[in-house]
Amino acid sequence: QVQLVESGGGLVQAGGSLRLSCAASGRAFTSSAMGWFRQAPGKEREFVAAISWSGGTTYYADSVKGRFTISRDNAKDTVYLQMNSLKPEDTAVYYCNAYRRPFPAVPSTPDFDYWGQGTQVTVSS
């Protein structure tokens, strides 16, 4: 059974930082692009960032560009999201997911339905 388990969320003040992790089990995603998504209360789930299979190419939503950094460690089959200069509008449940190809065809649309429990990020003003 494929699982993507997110962790690292928490409560932080505006301007603070958090580092999220997404660990894969059940199959390896080392040849697949991976992405982070988030869903705020009452809103649709939205794309945050994606990374190619090797980590050499990254993609970001305009709202997080310059503040968030996505990275991966294929030896650990883990993807990270470093979030700096957090804002209250970053408050959401954060999820990771995978793409079928080494580079995402459409970064905002993952190719699998591997939605886990997510990790809650709350940014206070």
pLDDT at 25 over 90: no
pLDDT at 116 over 90: no
Q: Which residue has the higher pLDDT, 115 or 54?
A: 54
pLDDT at site 43? 96
> Which two three-digit tokens encode residue 121?
């990020």
Mean pLDDT to the nearest integer, 53-74: 97
DSSP the chain: --EEEEE--EEEETT--EEEEEEEESS--TTS-EEEEEE-TTS--EEEEEE-TTSS-EEE-TTTTTTEEEEEETTTTEEEEEE-S--GGG-EEEEEEE-SSSS-SSTTS-SS------EEEEEE-
Residue 13: pLDDT band (50, 70, 90) is very high
Q: What's the rounded Cα separation, in Å, for the pair 125 and 120?
A: 16
Q: What is the tens place of the pLDDT at every residue in 70-109?
A: 999 999 999 999 999 999 999 999 999 999 999 999 999 9
pLDDT at 114 over 90: no
Task: Please provide the average confidence, as pLDDT, over all residues in the chain.
Answer: 95
